[in-house]
Structure 1
Amino acid sequence: MDSEPPFQDAYKSLLEEQDNSKAVKLIDEFVEDCEVPVIDLSRLNGCNNEADKEECKKEIAKASKEWGFFQVVNHGIPQDVLQRMRREQVKLFRQPFQNKAAGKGDHKVSDLSGNNSYRWGTPTATCLKQLSWTEAFHIPITDVSNSAAGQPNRLSLTIKEFASTVSSLAQTIAEILAENLGLKSAFFTENCWPNTCYLRMNRYPPCPLPLKVFGLLPHTDSNFLTILYQDQVGGLQLVKDGRWVTVKPNPEALIINIGDLFQAWSNDAYKSVKHRVVTNGRVERFSVAYFFCPSYDTIIQSCKDGPRVYRKFSFREYREQVQEDVRTTGNKVGLPRFLLSEGQ
């Protein structure tokens, strides 16, 4: 049984736009490769002097302000954990499509929770530029922990180990960014717990229209931080100085990017930048993203004195507004919805 989602059948009318000249090229064939800042986190441990440690923290803050993205090496996540995570992910996506869609099979994420977390394509797409050529499993970390504690399997144990190590890294980065703003804040340890975060395993199948269909639509992330483990196929692009650039894969690195909540919390000191994934006409691409999120009731407001850029809001309110905008307009609006009016 075929493991591929039925993109060709489900989106036949959209794909046929190419035959009547309605389809436009969404992606420039020649987007410049760039080396996103690479930061060696080994300098944060006690084996190095204090000057090295402080310089590392400054590099993290600078990249978060100027790029909104950076890569980290010597990050403390064992290569064995990353390799096992990739193997389990590939086995999961190799399941027959019908099993994935129904949450069945021997190797399934529905074992981790009561609901099937599998998604593919964009059901609401009305044109090619709204279509994401991807399949994914969205997994709340709390479900992984409960499964591993109950009747663990290799998949749940691997995901739990990966999530716990990446969670610790996310807390470290968040605390460094808070400290750079002059805060010794317990905000993240008090509000961003393992059971408020989630994991998304992505697969981008080969696409017959690689310059006309996105793997993942241009967007910003709605959380505080995202930590990404990707393969070496490439395809991640971000906006830098008003133009799209391609992130060159680094086999030794994890990618970290700032989300909308951190931009609002920092009063625009750190930048949540638009990014996307482009498709490949020949080969598939895999990635795993860890989303560092607070509880839904957490209030987001500027941590800095002085004029505030955004009104305060809860994470629940933000998520609901994003979902409503996507449902009614087909696009995420995001932080501009929460700007303070002049004079407030």
Structure 2
Amino acid sequence: MDLSGWWSGEAAGREAVAAAVDRACRETGFLLLEGHGVPDAIMGAFVTRCDEFFALPVAEKLACVARKVPDGNNIGYTAFGEEASAYAEDNRTPPDLFEAMSFSRSDADRAPFDHYRAWYPANAWPPRPAGWEWAYRAYETAMARLAGAVLGAMGLALGMGERWLVDLCLDAPLSTRANFYTRPADAGDPLPGQLRRGEHTDFGVLTLLWTDGVPGLQIRQGDEWRDVNPGPGQLVANIGDLLAMWTNDRWTSTLHRVLPPPANATGPAARRSVAYFVDAYPGTLIEPVPTCVTADNPARFAPILAGDWLNLRARRQLASTAASTAASAGATSNFSGVRRLAG
């Protein structure tokens, strides 16, 4: 989907983009974005620093581990095998085959966030790689501009106006997670049900995703899994649970997962992605909007605070650390022995 018409500022161009967004969100909840306005140089500079960080010794990365709490926006390093994403869907699986580094919004020290301070932690930048913070700030600015455009088109598509979602998300927790999915050269096959990222929906409002083009991302449609393969220069956008509730399931948050490398792959295999998450201010009441509720389609969701929903999902996710470790403790897999810290 081409966003060029949105940047023109003309009403007809914006209406056309909004109609395209509506179709994609009704059909899959996933969009492939062109004309997004994120410069390759800015994206590349941030990804390069992420690559340099993941190449550091394990002990150096472990110094960046942040305390994981359900009532807040977790930042810092997530070690290989520490999470099992499918637990958020009450689906017990072995640990996922990835490591990650997460960042909060750069202006997290502002007064409007004091009431929900745990959701807006300050970033603690490691000594290496050099220049990572500045590369992140440039990336963050570009992604915030893109998020504003997508949210504006979504609000227009829902008949709520261009500013509706934009204004609701002005003070939202914003976070970025850089993911590194690796397969050592001598690794055996994954455990049964073990993926790079287990099936899950995103918890919040909107996710904007960069990938390096390596296949693996899939979405669930009916009884089938479909590949999502962004082309060169494309970004992925998908909606989360909060927006699905706001739209009364006119748009649904779609299950997605990341497959491991093929069993017959030889040599090392890696896949990188960077996700920019827009949630909602924790005190925001989430309930179906009037334009999505009719006599034939009454409200499907009881009102809930955004923070309560995000906490519910996060608690299930955090429960995966100990439980998935115990479930796979007796199994044999070279994957589970690589940088195995909590699973």
Same fold by TM-score greater than 0.5: yes
Give the CA deviation at 1:143. 6.4
What secondary structure is seen at the aligned counterpart in 1 of 2:248? coil
Partner AA of 2:213 in structure 1:
Q
Deviations 1:59-92 (A, max 9, x none): 1110011111011111100111111122111011
- Using the alignment, how far apart are the partners of 2:53 and 2:101 within structure 1? 9
Aligned to 2:279: 293
Moved more, 284-293 or 189-198: 189-198
Deviations 1:74-123 (A, max 9, x none): 1100111111122111011111111001129xxxxxxxxxx971012444
Partner AA of 1:166 in structure 2:
M
Contact 2:94–2:191 at 8 Å: present in 1 too? no
Aligned to 1:192: 169
Q: Does 2:213 match 1:232?
A: yes
Deviations 1:238-278 (A, max 9, x none): 11233101112311200000100110001111110000011
Matches within 5 A, 1:53-72: 53-72=14-33
Aligned to 2:118: none
Cα gap change, 1:261 to 1:195, in 2 (>3 Å): closer
**Pairing partner for 2:251 from 261, 270, 285:** 270
- Using the alignment, how far apart are the partners of 1:215 and 1:124 within structure 2? 10
Matches within 5 A, 1:157-168: 157-168=134-145
**Pairing partner for 1:77 from 35, 38, 41:** 38
Aligned to 2:234: 253
What secondary structure is seen at the aligned counterpart in 2 of 1:179? helix
- Using the alignment, how far apart are the partners of 1:237 and 1:124 within structure 2? 19
**Pairing partner for 1:203 from 160, 180, 187:** 180
Matches within 5 A, 1:1-344: 39-46=1-8, 50-103=11-64, 117-123=76-82, 129-142=93-106, 154-184=131-161, 186-193=163-170, 196-206=173-183, 208-210=188-190, 212=192, 213-280=194-261, 281=265, 282-304=268-290, 305-306=293-294, 307-326=298-317
- Using the alignment, how far apart are the partners of 1:56 and 1:160 within structure 2? 28
- Using the alignment, how far apart are the partners of 2:236 and 2:307 within structure 1? 26
Contact 1:297–1:316 at 8 Å: present in 2 too? yes
Cα gap change, 1:45 to 1:191, in 2 (>3 Å): closer
Contact 1:220–1:274 at 8 Å: present in 2 too? yes
Give the CA deviation at 1:128. 8.7
What secondary structure is seen at the aligned counterpart in 1 of 2:277? strand
Give the CA deviation at 1:323. 3.2
Give the CA deviation at 1:327. 5.6
- Give the TM-score taking structure 2 as reference length: 0.73
Structure 2 portions without partners, runs of 5+: 66-73, 110-121, 325-343
Alignment RMSD: 3.1
- Using the alignment, how far apart are the partners of 1:285 and 1:324 within structure 2? 27
Moved more, 272-281 or 178-187: 178-187
Give the CA deviation at 1:186. 4.0
Give the CA deviation at 1:194. 6.1
Cα gap change, 1:326 to 1:72, in 2 (>3 Å): closer
Cα gap change, 1:40 to 1:268, in 2 (>3 Å): same
Partner AA of 1:236 in structure 2:
L
Cα gap change, 1:308 to 1:143, in 2 (>3 Å): same
Give % identity.
25
Give the CA deviation at 1:160. 1.0
Give the CA deviation at 1:196. 1.5
- Using the alignment, how far apart are the partners of 1:190 and 1:116 within structure 2? 25
Give the structure, 1 or 2, with the largest relative contact order (CA under 8 Å, sep 6 or more): 2
Give the CA deviation at 1:189. 3.4
- Give the TM-score taking structure 1 as reference length: 0.73
Contact 1:299–1:314 at 8 Å: present in 2 too? yes
Deviations 1:273-297 (A, max 9, x none): 0000112253111110000111211
